Structure 1
Amino acid sequence: MVILSETWDIAHSAIDSAQGRSYSNIMTKKLAIAIAQLNPIVGDVTGNRDKVVAAWETAADQAADVVLYSELVLSGYPPEDLVMKPAFMRHLHDAVQFICE
């Protein structure tokens, strides 16, 4: 597992195009983004879920505000015909629910 963390300064500005005005409401905040580069195994939803949770905990210990994961991190890539199996889809749903709790 690789966790990369970067802190960004955020500035917010907006343009009111209907009125032709622009204004800036500068809000500076540090945003710590962790990027989790995991090696998910196709079909191993529980193992992949555990990797996601471990990366999340590591990122939280490093004060990350956001953790980014690759697409299909829970199912593994490419899941191919596994997504056609209702039991597999239920398992993915349960893994997401577990992570959300």
Structure 2
Amino acid sequence: MQGAGKSTWIAAQADDVGPVYLDAALPGVRHRAPIIAVARRHGVPVEAVLIRVPLDVALERNRQRRADAIVPEASIRTVASLFEPPTVEEGFSRVRIVEA
């Protein structure tokens, strides 16, 4: 979800040559399916990186953002309510969990 720390985690991977990271809140299987489908068509494995953070932490991080970068709280709560953990069964070659 927004405020989980995705951008921060991705920035820390800057020296990792090769992977392409999508910095997006993709809470459900239906949201991730098109990305997995494109990767499969091109024979590219897809790894999910779940930045796991409690909702209250994400909301607090969001409140600490610059005014023009704050996401409406209702949007974050909606994404959290739609969340389905990524799985190998949906097409990921691996699911990595990062506790933030």
TM-score (normalizing by structure 1)? 0.31
Between Structure 1 and Structure 2, the one with more helix by share is: 2
Q: Which has the higher contact order (CA 8 A, sep 6+)?
A: 2
TM-score (normalizing by structure 2)? 0.31
Between Structure 1 and Structure 2, the one with more strand by share is: 1
Q: Which has the larger radius of gyration?
A: 1
